[in-house]
Amino acid sequence: MAKAIGLSRKIKLQWLNKAVDLLGENLTEEEYKAKMNEYLSFEIESPTVLRKTREILMRVWFYEDDVDVIAIRKDALDLIKKYPDYDVAIHWCMLLVVYPVFADLSRLIGRIVEFNDVITLSQLKQKLYDEWGERSTLYHSTDKIIATIKELGVITSDKPGNYTIVKITVTRSSVLNFMLRVAMKVCGKSYYSFSELDDINVLFPFDYIITKEALINDTTFIIQTLGRELTVALR
């Protein structure tokens, strides 16, 4: 069965922040939809595009049909309330969890930037087609996902189709630990060596420094030594 794409519209940072803000009003699903529709209608004229955009935002921050997403979202909400300056990093992690295509594209970009300063859209599309199959929906969705990544401020473009990375520094240990937990879960490895955590592809836009102390003090990680190397797994 072909994997569902789902992320088919460009999403802006301010829309994601609005989706979080509305959660504080304890709205029913219909009330939440109505308020989000009203908010988005100032920028989106097409009813179809508005609905698709709203559903993406609600899939990330509202709907409760996935136990794993609900648990991660709870931690994300606590963090974004405490540290709103890290909204991009926290929204990024939620997109990774909810949309596998976003995670796969992020992983591909992370691999490419290890060797090249410039990423091309054609290159990304071809590599994504190799994994997902060449579908018209994927062709158009890739453009929207790249546009979303650009809206989040972590890539820039000097000419159409060519992109370079704009790094965001994360120094808050609780935010960084959350990011690592999400990345490890999304990537599916049973454990990472301590050195590998410095360069997880799906977190390509972020600069960070991991300390052993911060990981040891976080009970969600299991720290062990294999041979002479420190390893980190999720509890």
Mark which of 138, 165, 192 sits at the end of a domain: 165
pLDDT at 158 over 90: no
Note the pTM of the prediction, 2 decimals. 0.94
Token pair in block for residue 66: 């996935």
The sheet that has 221-226: what strands, in order across it?
A: 192-193, 229-234, 221-226
Q: List, for residues 217-234, the tens digit of each pLDDT value.
A: 999 999 998 878 889 999
Is the domain of 130 the same as that of 191?
no
- pLDDT the model gives residue 226: 82
Classify 167 in phi/psi space as left (phi over 0), alpha (psi -120 to 50) or beta: beta
Does residue 126 sit within a domain? yes
pLDDT at 167 over 50: yes
Across the chain, what does the average pLDDT equal? 93
Angle at 168 between CA 166 and CA 170, to 5 degrees: 165
144 falls in which pLDDT band (50, 70, 90)?
very high
Is the domain of 19 the same as that of 94?
yes
pLDDT at 126 over 50: yes
pLDDT at 44 over 70: yes
Mark which of 165, 185, 218 sits at the end of a domain: 165
| Host domain of residue 230 | 170-234
- pLDDT the model gives residue 4: 61
Does residue 179 sit within a domain? yes
Q: In the block, which residue shows the tokens 């794409």?
A: 5
- pLDDT the model gives residue 2: 42
Mark which of 72, 98, 124 sits at the end of a domain: 98
Is the domain of 21 the same as that of 82?
yes
Is the domain of 174 the same as that of 185?
yes
**Cα 118 from Cα 83, distance rounded (Å):** 31
Is the domain of 51 the same as that of 22?
yes
pLDDT at 85 over 90: yes
Is the domain of 110 the same as that of 183?
no
91 falls in which pLDDT band (50, 70, 90)?
very high
Count up the domains in the chain and report the number: 3
Does residue 1 sit within a domain? no
Task: Supply the angle between the helices 47-61 and 13-23 in degrees, to the nearest 10.
Answer: 60
Does residue 79 sit within a domain? yes
Is the domain of 185 the same as that of 151?
no
Is the domain of 111 the same as that of 150?
yes
